[in-house]
Structure 1
Amino acid sequence: MTTEVNRSEIQGLILSGYGHLNYGKYLFLTVTDAAQGRAWIGAIQPLIANGERWDSVNEVRVKPTSMINIGISASGLRALGVSDTSLETFPVDYRDGIATEIRSNLLGDQGASAPANWQIGKDQSTLHVLLVILAQDALILAQRVAEQQTLWQAHGLSLLAEEHAQRLPDNREHFGFKDGISQPKFKGNPRKDQPHDPEIKPGEFVLGYPNNYDTQPIMPELNGRPFGLDGSYVVFRKMYQDVVGFWEFMTEQANNPSDAQLMAMSPELRVTWFASKMYGRWPSGAPMTKYPDHDVPDLPKEALNKFLYVRDRPTENAKPGELSDAQGLYAPRGSHIRRANPRDTNADDPNAALKTSDSHLIIRRGLPYGQPLVTLDNIPPLNLVEDHQDRGLIFLAINASISRQFEFIHQSWLNNTKFDHLYNDKDPIVGDNPDKTDVDPETERYDMTIERLPVRRRIKNMPRFTTVRGGGYFFMPSLSALNMLAKL
């Protein structure tokens, strides 16, 4: 089994975040005729960006001004004429789709986040194709979308839904925190000089290569021929962010007069500190594990992710970056970043814990959608007024196994009330806490625990700040597999 991936076959979004392309369109298409749909696949295939390294001119890398990638759902493959026999070679999670009752229970898609309330994907039977178009500016994006619209309409496809997204300043999301910092990387050779950034085998994200267990996920077939090689699965989520609700709650809790430690801080610091405890990072992205007392806005990029929780043992004269945070005294054990990637915690043996964490990671893609409500460089925001506009995150997760990676993270880490020796806590940012409008006394309520000395602070009745408004499971085939599908 090789460890060198075939970059020319793999769709580009799997290997690159395209950080220079700040504008995006996520288009959801329905195939109305199988033969015409396959002809469209053949027509768009030459336009699909792959993972090849970009050319250089005079030692300066020339970056593309736009890119196009596609993913196809199980119902989309069926609509394109793929037989049930071939579809059965795909894993059950992909074939079932994201909106089944089983998946909703696994992911915490309940209440306002239930598929019945979604804007995109409520009916998975017509959610066939995800077309991703990214561009460096709004004009180029509009041109590419217009070109693609002409192409799909000429082949009988219809537009089911679309989402416009745009990178916010300093890679912030709508709550005002820097996003997309921790991303796994995979290489063929170990990186011994960077133990904080361990080697992730390519089979965790691309089919046909060894994963961290030295095995390979199920290899889908098309009429008995390998179809999955160099492909990957992409999870789509549209996630609305309740910005006013988030900051009102943080402000109220941070100004609790019974909390003497918080009352000793300045008003601005206490609110920022409290909100940062939910994330485990300061708004700039600085990890609280290394910088527990205040934000450090100008850290170099590599410093934002250079930490573990247990292995950085304290010295006699400990400096920031040398503190052990095994007990969560700096970044709480239930904070978002510790749940999304526990690193070397959540097990008695740090080495075993790190190996487990590295075997369940995802590559995150996507962009914020909607206009910011807060001034992103002025946190905490003051005097917010609800404008009832839709804003949040178009979230894409890339993984070779939806159940072992994306679904595992949600069930075992984000929404696990007993995560890392906690008792009744869920992820404070994306966990399936009850809707704030839910006043049913029978509804289960959850907490957020802030570990500290001498006494921890437990926040009761955590509300939901992030609501799922769309979802889908897609397969992102290799370029050769797209050709195979077009010629079916």
Structure 2
Amino acid sequence: MTQSMVTSAIPFALGKADSVDARLDTFRPQLFGNESAIREAMRGRHIHFMSITVVRGEIGEPTHLVFEMSGDGEPDAVIATVAAGLEGPIREIFDTAGIASHKPLRDLLTARRVRTGQGLFATPGLDFCGTPDMTVERIEAEYALARDLRDFFDRSAVQGSPLHVFQQAKAFVAALPQHVALMTPEPLKRIADKDSERFSLGFVACLAGRGLVKFFWPVLLLFGALVLLTTYGAWHAAGTAVGLLALAVGLIVVAVALIAVLAAVYFGLRGLEETNTPFDTTLDPKVMDAISDGENVTKDTQQNHLAGISVMQAGWLRGLTLRIAFWVIAQLATHRFRPGFLGEISTIHYARWVLLPKTNKLLFFSNFGGSWESYLEDFITKAASGLTGVWSNTVGFPRTENLFFKGATDGDRFKRWARRQQQPSRFWYSAYPHLTTARIRVNAAIRQGIGTVSTEDEAVSWLGLFGSKVRPDTLIETFEVQTLLYGGLSKHPYAECLMLRLPEARRAAREWLAQVEPLVSCGDEPPRDKVLILALSSHGLERLGLPQDIHEQFPTAFRAGMGSPGRANLLADTGDDHARKWLWGGPSNEIDGVLLVYAADPATLAHEVAARTTELQVAGGALVHRVTPTPLPTGSAQAQQDTGRSARQLVREPFGFADGISQPIIKGTRRWMRQSDAIHAVEPGEFLLGYPDGRGYFPPSPRVPARMDPGNVLPLAEPTHRRGALIPSFANSSANSERDLGRNGSFLVVRQLAQDVEAFNGFVEEAAALYADHPAVPKLLDPALLPEWIGAKMVGRWKDGSSLVRFPHQPASYHGAPQRNPDNEFLFGAEDPVGERCPLGAHIRRSNPRDSLAPGSAQELGIVNRHRILRVGRGFEAEGANDPEVSQPGLLFMCLNADIERQFEFIQQTWAVAWQFHGLENEVDPITGRGGKLGRLTIPSPNGPLHLTKTKDWVRTRGGAYLFMPSRSALRFLARLPE
């Protein structure tokens, strides 16, 4: 239904103004008090808000009785409704004002209606509605529904799944005759997807062009006519050539003239701004008392009304700039802002600016939620340029610059100015004074959910609306995400990694998954005794019977697998690292999944591994390989990660260096709440499917037709771009909406890396002896530390975890200093731009360059964070002294990421094994890279570089796989795939 904002202004004598104000005051008890005669007369008449304000005229101007009305329907219908409901009271006001008219009230209000528009010759004005398409009837009905549902939950303790609880609530609603009509969903306005009209340069140019035409069309028309007449005359007098020349000259003249007009407007505006005198006086306490008396009129009122009267500055230029400001705000509201929002402000019900005809009075009426102070603070912090653009054209406004700048940003002076313009709200009606716009939207979402919710995640979202609000799309559904995302599980120091092959029969594979699925740990509070994590390979999904069209929606890298020839080239898995030589994950020993078992003690681990292995074998599956990580020491680095407390003993990888220090911090997790570091904080969509990434987009995620999910287990598929928390996802869903198989899932990369510790230690010892007298070796360095210094230059950190950037000459724990948390808040580019402390080619600088590639650039940090991975691996000991394939210790490298190619593979290919990373020449990562004949590291120093040559491949790949770590709901869906 159409919603209209109507202003009618009826003139009367100035001498009657005080009497009219006093008369208006007498009606207040009938508007909100116990004697609510006017309120009862207006009920059910489709009027949202109404006010009557006296606007006193200057000398030679009439005084006006101004009616502000917001209602459902066309303007004439709104006026007719008000006239029918308030004929008696308004006639009493007319008698007090001396307004003698025998016309019906409806005709009088219609005749005196102020029609505003954006045209050059229209009365300037601007309307805003915060609840578009929401009628009074709908708002009140949805409020009653939400209230009854809250009473239902207060009285009932419904047990069961979220979807079962929702279904019980829905049955309760269906049994109430007054709510039956609300069982049918009614559309809600969402954020329009207007990528084509975002603030690109093209969009700004288009707006500017439209603005020029709108405001200067008389000038353009005049010059255009002159050009055509000149061209026509020249063509007749001297022929075509001269006519074309005249046309070209004419167009140039028009362009120059238009530029001159624009320049005159701009410099005229700047001159007015420089000579403007702001008023900064305080308000008379008696006037303030009268204004305050009309605010927060009852304890149940959640709304307020503002009536402001400003005086326009003199001159035609201010009239033009007012129109320009209104037009700009209208364009933003149409093309940029979400429906019902003015920028980020969402508390306004209805608001209107209008220039009262034949006066210099600019009127502003607003019906808003919350206090006056909160309302003004919202505008000052979120929409100051809009306020400034309009009110900079009025007398006494704080000093402005270029129409839209400064002004309202001076918050204290702006609020004092706003109070001076404000009139007491003597006669103000609200149809639903107990509701804010936020509550109206939530009530609408509750009603919408009754007719549309069909899945478990939708039920969770719907239930969250009671006592809460719409769940932001950035808020992680913790209970759905496997626990591995939330930390290194330091309280479960014992672990086993089982590489599985599922039963060949699909039904048997699904039955096994159905048996294991309830045991998989989700959430950020793991069980005390054990944690199980399950991830599936592409081949494993095929074994479970995932349809081909859905399987093909998974990323190419995942479907190809780590052991494929194409991925081998990207990762430099060639020669002795080729997948053909792997212990698992290669073409001859492919796996379908990985089951990670973590336990608090060895007995629990042994029992759990035995039970899960037996279940798999009984079902017809097999154990391809297993890796037993080294138990974590007490007070490990992972404990430090998880708790933020100092670690008593660090976790060290086989070469002896502290591990697990630098990790991204996912926004929305507990760690982020404790440590929201700007360097390491990343959006959840960089690691979880179904959430916005750093650019506001949702990562691609496989989708399932609704018919394949009859149990409504999977969540609804999200749009590709950030939706915002205007309404929940179920608001525009239907029974046929696609489901998201990937949401709350991540991709797990697993690589079994063997480390040649003996060769590495021998190399650093030999290099220390060889380069002891090299000019690049710092004189302050303890000679006993030289082998560790060589190794630290290769890694980028000392063995105790302290960085070379902050500790270039000795580790933080030197001389037995107390154990401290390894430093991690440094910036390579800002603190060590040329690599004299941490070499440009060192392992940690390649793995996470931070701002190294563009020192001091926040944008570069954002780009690098797009390639971060969440490392969750553990080291392992040598497994068999007589078998060279397993006789070396190493690292069970594991990481989580939302995009294997952009994150894990990018780091490996573009940074680790790139020969010319950071401008270097013929170097690769000295620790994990595939050096071969390129084995070298440049160590810069003020005295010249030291070139470490003949570095070897200390790390070998002995197995690997790309796996999908599903959400709890996705695991349930996969276990119940139809035949």
Say yes or no: TM over 0.5.
Answer: yes
The answer on 1:215 being equivalent to 2:697 is yes
Tell me the residue number matched to 1:251. Answer: 765
Partner-residue secondary structure (3-state), 1:171 = coil
Distance 2:674 2:626 in 1: 44
CA-CA distance at 1:195 after TM superposition = 4.8
The answer on 1:12 being equivalent to 2:492 is no
Q: Residues 125 and 93 of structure 1: is their aligned pair in 2 closer, same or farther, counting only changes over 3 Å?
A: farther
Q: Residues 221 and 195 of structure 1: is their aligned pair in 2 closer, same or farther, counting only changes over 3 Å?
A: closer
What are the residue-to-residue correspondences of 1:103-252 with 2, within 5 Å?
Answer: 103-123=567-587, 126-167=590-631, 169=633, 170-188=650-668, 195=677, 197-222=679-704, 225-252=739-766
Partner-residue secondary structure (3-state), 2:479 = coil
Aligned residues: 447
Give the residue type in structure 2 aligned to 1:228.
G
Distance 1:205 1:219 in 2: 12
- Contact kept? 2:473, 2:692, Cα under 8 Å: yes
Distance 2:820 2:505 in 1: 48
CA RMSD of aligned residues (A): 2.4
Deviation digits for residues 237-278 of structure 1, max 9, x if unmatched? Answer: 000000011011111111115525549654421101111111
CA-CA distance at 1:168 after TM superposition = 5.1
- Contact kept? 1:21, 1:66, Cα under 8 Å: yes
Tell me the residue number matched to 1:43. Answer: 515
- Contact kept? 1:196, 1:306, Cα under 8 Å: no
Q: Residues 362 and 299 of structure 1: is their aligned pair in 2 closer, same or farther, counting only changes over 3 Å?
A: farther
- Contact kept? 2:923, 2:934, Cα under 8 Å: no
Q: Residues 4 and 268 of structure 1: is their aligned pair in 2 closer, same or farther, counting only changes over 3 Å?
A: same
Q: Quick check: which one's helix share is greater?
A: 2
Distance 1:84 1:125 in 2: 23
Q: Residues 372 and 351 of structure 1: is their aligned pair in 2 closer, same or farther, counting only changes over 3 Å?
A: farther
Distance 2:751 2:477 in 1: 28
Tell me the residue number matched to 1:403. Answer: 901
Deviation digits for residues 322-369 of structure 1, max 9, x if unmatched? Answer: xx2111111111111111111111136622221111110000011111
Distance 1:396 1:387 in 2: 20
Q: Residues 193 and 4 of structure 1: is their aligned pair in 2 closer, same or farther, counting only changes over 3 Å?
A: closer
Task: Pick 1 or 2: higher relative contact order, CA cutoff 8 A, min separation 6.
Answer: 1
- Contact kept? 1:254, 1:262, Cα under 8 Å: no
- Contact kept? 1:191, 1:199, Cα under 8 Å: no
Distance 2:666 2:897 in 1: 12
Tell me the residue number matched to 1:270. Answer: 786
The answer on 1:288 being equivalent to 2:795 is no
Partner-residue secondary structure (3-state), 1:234 = strand
Q: Residues 167 and 218 of structure 1: is their aligned pair in 2 closer, same or farther, counting only changes over 3 Å?
A: same
Tell me the residue number matched to 1:437. Answer: none
Q: Residues 391 and 214 of structure 1: is their aligned pair in 2 closer, same or farther, counting only changes over 3 Å?
A: same
Give the residue type in structure 1 aligned to 2:906.
F
- Contact kept? 2:776, 2:946, Cα under 8 Å: no
Structure 1: state its 5+ residue gaps.
55-62, 312-323, 374-385, 435-443
CA-CA distance at 1:486 after TM superposition = 0.7
Q: 2:850 aligns with which of 322, 338, 343?
A: 343
CA-CA distance at 1:294 after TM superposition = 0.3
CA-CA distance at 1:390 after TM superposition = 2.4
The answer on 1:480 being equivalent to 2:973 is no
- Contact kept? 2:878, 2:886, Cα under 8 Å: no
CA-CA distance at 1:454 after TM superposition = 1.2
Give the residue type in structure 1 aligned to 2:802.
A
CA-CA distance at 1:97 after TM superposition = 0.5
Deviation digits for residues 21-48 of structure 1, max 9, x if unmatched? Answer: 2221110111122111111111111101
Question: For structure 1, which segment, 422-431 or 125-134, has the greater mean C-alpha deviation from structure 2 after superposition?
Answer: 125-134
Q: 1:309 aligns with which of 809, 818, 828?
A: 828
Tell me the residue number matched to 1:333. Answer: 840
Distance 1:400 1:387 in 2: 32
The higher radius of gyration belongs to 2
- Contact kept? 1:203, 1:400, Cα under 8 Å: yes
The answer on 1:352 being equivalent to 2:847 is no
User: What is the TM-score normalised by the length of structure 1?
Assistant: 0.86
Distance 1:15 1:124 in 2: 34
User: What is the TM-score normalised by the length of structure 2?
Assistant: 0.44
Partner-residue secondary structure (3-state), 1:352 = helix
Q: Residues 372 and 244 of structure 1: is their aligned pair in 2 closer, same or farther, counting only changes over 3 Å?
A: farther
Q: Residues 100 and 344 of structure 1: is their aligned pair in 2 closer, same or farther, counting only changes over 3 Å?
A: same
Identity value in percent: 33
Give the residue type in structure 2 aligned to 1:259.
H
Distance 1:397 1:360 in 2: 12
Q: Residues 167 and 334 of structure 1: is their aligned pair in 2 closer, same or farther, counting only changes over 3 Å?
A: farther
Distance 1:33 1:301 in 2: 54
CA-CA distance at 1:167 after TM superposition = 3.6
Give the residue type in structure 2 aligned to 1:417.
W
Deviation digits for residues 435-482 of structure 1, max 9, x if unmatched? Answer: xxxxxxxxx424211111110111223211111110000000001001
Give the residue type in structure 2 aligned to 1:201.
E
